[in-house]
Amino acid sequence: MIGNEKYGGPAFPQTIEFADKSAIIQPGMTLRDWFAGKALEGMLSGESGFHLVPPNAAELAFEYADAMLKERAK
């Protein structure tokens, strides 16, 4: 799922290298998740945020994230 273009790929990938020269890649969250979190943060920062029902706010946040990904792909 992390590499899937629908989700924008990884937002904050990291490669962790060890002393024995081995490494692991931590993909981090998807760009879609990051966009949704930022949208949710904005929605909850205003007075109207107090009236948002969590499931509705989460759905709306991902709608904003999907719109961002669509615009980004142009």
What is the value of pTM for the model shown? Answer: 0.69
11 within 8 A of 30, measured Cβ to Cβ: yes
Short-list 74, 49, 55, 72, CA closest to 30? 72
| Each residue's pLDDT tens digit, 14-42 | 788 888 888 877 777 889 999 999 999 99
Higher pLDDT, 17 or 8: 17
The reported pLDDT for the residue numbered 34 is 93
Count: domains in the chain? 1
Residues 6 or more apart whose CB falls under 8 angstroms from that of 48 comprise none
Q: Domain range spanning residue 52?
A: 5-72
pLDDT band at 1 (very low <50, low <70, confident <90, very high): very low
| Each residue's pLDDT tens digit, 55-74 | 888 999 999 999 999 999 98
